[in-house]
Amino acid sequence: MSARRNEGDNSSGEAAEKSFFELERARLVTEISLSLDHVLMNLNLLNRSLEGVISVGKEFESVETLWSQFEGVIGSGAGGGVGSAEVAAGGNGSGKEPAGDESMSEVGEGRA
């Protein structure tokens, strides 16, 4: 923007007036600045919300651990009979591994 005029360089008396371009540019710069302030404010709000969600999720880690231990005890405590935990875990109810190269537990590991 080397073509800018300094207000002191204008000898026709229009030093106090700004051109339409300069007024419009100033208005747009102000509008963009306000919009960026709103974006920053909303990003901060989003960040606080995400932190809240993460903290709530961390509060359930102990509950998840307890249920996992309970499931492990119930699943291993079924013993010799056909337990519902074995069938629910993907077993075929016979107590034997399925025929073939892949067991049901290996197939189920691909899912999250």
Q: Per the domain annotation, does 53 fall within a domain?
A: yes
Domain assignment present for 110: no
When divided into structural domains, the chain yields a total of 1
Distance CA 43, CA 68 (A): 36
Is there a domain that residue 49 lies in?
Answer: yes
Query: Within a domain: residue 24?
Result: yes
Q: Per residue in 32-67, is it b (16+ CB within 10 Å) or e — as a string?
A: eeeeeeeeeeeeeeeeeeeeeeeeeeeeeeeeeeee
**pLDDT tens digits for the chain (112 residues)?**
444 555 455 545 455 688 999 999 999 999 999 999 999 999 999 999 999 999 998 888 999 999 999 999 998 876 544 445 454 555 555 555 555 444 444 444 444 4
**92 domain residue, yes or no:** no
Q: Is residue 70 part of a domain?
A: yes
Q: Is residue 83 part of a domain?
A: no
Domain limits at 39? 17-75
User: Does 68 reside within a domain?
Assistant: yes
